[in-house]
Structure 1
Amino acid sequence: MKKVTVLGAGSWGTALAMVLAHNGHDVRLWSHRKEQADEINNQHTNDKYLPGIELPDKITGYHDLKQALESSEAVLVVVPTKAIRDVIKQAKQYLTSDQVLMHASKGIEPETHKRISEMMTEELGEQLGEKVVVLSGPSHAEEVALQQPTTVTVSSLKSTEAEKAQDLFMNNVFRVYTNEDFIGVEIGGALKNIIALGAGISDGLGYGDNAKAALMTRGLAEMAKLGVKLGATPLTFAGLTGIGDLIVTCTSQHSRNYRAGFMLGEGYELSDVLDKMGMVVEGVRTTKAVHQLAEIEAVEMPITSGIYELLFEGKDPRQVVDDLMQRGKTNELNALSVDFN
């Protein structure tokens, strides 16, 4: 049994806190909102993010960051990409080199184009940063909270740290693999949110399964192309954090990115969609960052570019689809190829 602090009491942070609690760990679930921490302690619920779910007694809500991290043996960061730096800056003074340091956030930072672990390392320094473990894979928080069978992957620059995270989370309904491809695991988890927006847009326009299957397949090729250019292993994108996460995020109403895309396809403005969602839609921010990064790395990503034009340049969704369908002729194997050198 360990003392584990989870920073971020959204749906995913809460669901992972439940996994840890079911494994017998004492879990401190930190929220930047005192009323949310009070609800967790007094009602054993987190109704905004996981309605109808009763939280285990081993989860204690915290609002004070110092108290939440004091004497913790493991720390899991699960906050939106835009909040990573601020939370890490606040937490840094309370973190120690003997803690297991993990994150389960998915995104890329616009302008800097940094992955989550790179952002954390910049704020923490190399000594702590090189220990960071990423947890990713096809995992809706709603299903994890109900203890439905789920499989994820953990990765770190230090394999011993990944194995520690594996031991913390592994149980008979939450299976955890390790994967040495740290870059690929993070890239897959971030980029699939862009394609999920596209899948929702396609469905919102009233297109069928043929269109969505094509978008997911070609989207996976884009993910792999950029990932490999950045140093990832191609096979990672055929695994849980690639095609696995892509499938679950593109095909379910549990997915915020899919739901946001669906409303965009129906004709809603982006600002209205984000207001209606009431939660962070990581794919929007990630689309901007990846569009910039693809241009820098000279990687052709037509689906990402089309979604960027829709989100940030006001392009009509049907025109985006028309432009994709009318691209020049090519060979599928050439279009799927990635540079292994």
Structure 2
Amino acid sequence: MTEFASFKTQLTASAQRLFELIDGFKQSKVLVVGDLTLDEFLTGEVERISREAPVLIIRHETTRQTPGGGANAVYNLAKLGAEVKVAGFLSKDPQGQVLRTMFEEVGIDTSAIVIDPDRPTVTKSRIAGHARQSVTQQIVRIDRKSDELPDRDKQLELAAQIQQHLGQVDAVVCSDYGDGVFTPPVIEAVLSHDRTIVDTQKDLDRYHGARVFTPNLPEAERAVGYGIKSFEDLLRAGRDLLALTQGEEILITRGEQGMSLFGRDGKVEHIPAFNRTDVFDVTGAGDTVVAALTLSLCLGASYWEAAVLGNLAASIVVRQFGTATTSQDEMKEALRGLLELEE
């Protein structure tokens, strides 16, 4: 029996339960603490080379703004039907107001956001151009951010806001993109909840004792300090990450190789990738995994069930360009399609 055939048998047996979990997403209440980012996409047609410098002149056509970084995790949870609260820093600048408006338009509670006028709202502007009858190509990205940590009083204010909301939610998601939100007082606050899911690009050990960690392969390699080149390396890394973090579960996302789930009880489960061919952009897919996984755990799902639904949600958003979200209906449609696949 092939790996997918074996998985398909397990999936079919769990199908009714998975559909019930997706339907139940709207019952979950989640607090996302994260580095809130505004993603901008400016596109236009390439006209010529400038006389001023050897650069392209692009005639602007469209500007699109979407939640990015930790804000994408927030948006993914809301689009899946959850009741979402968000905690983090925004500035008083126009970019911060754009993000707040985006949140409020989809019913996200922004009362735990702390305004820090001394640091700009993190903004990543991607400029792309195209010639006539050709594909659009990203040319440059401009990042607007501060390398300074928030002042101590701002750190404590955010930690207090988090503590105030912990009793109102079923889970806490930490979306750490390394932009200054996760200082010691904030980490201490998020770890006060007994269902904390951590998605961080580095320093997993700072979140010692959180419930679930979701590193991708490069993040896992950085954390353990060696390359994961073989199946044996993968198993070793899973054990080492559990020891490093003292977490209950480690979910390593492995791109086209699927996902691997490591439990403190010694159980290891591998979930194949559901979409290996129609992959246009993996930007933000990790946020989607975390969103669906978290909502499933809020409803009492097993870690395997939660990881399967995280994988399913990600298989949908990678078909779209840029940071993207999915919905309960899209997930149910994708699950039906997966169940109909030939083994």
Task: Note whether the superposition's TM-score is higher than 0.5.
Answer: no
Bigger RCO of structures 1 and 2 (CA < 8 A, at least 6 apart): 2
TM-score by length of 2: 0.33
Higher strand share: 2
Higher helix share: 1
TM-score by length of 1: 0.33
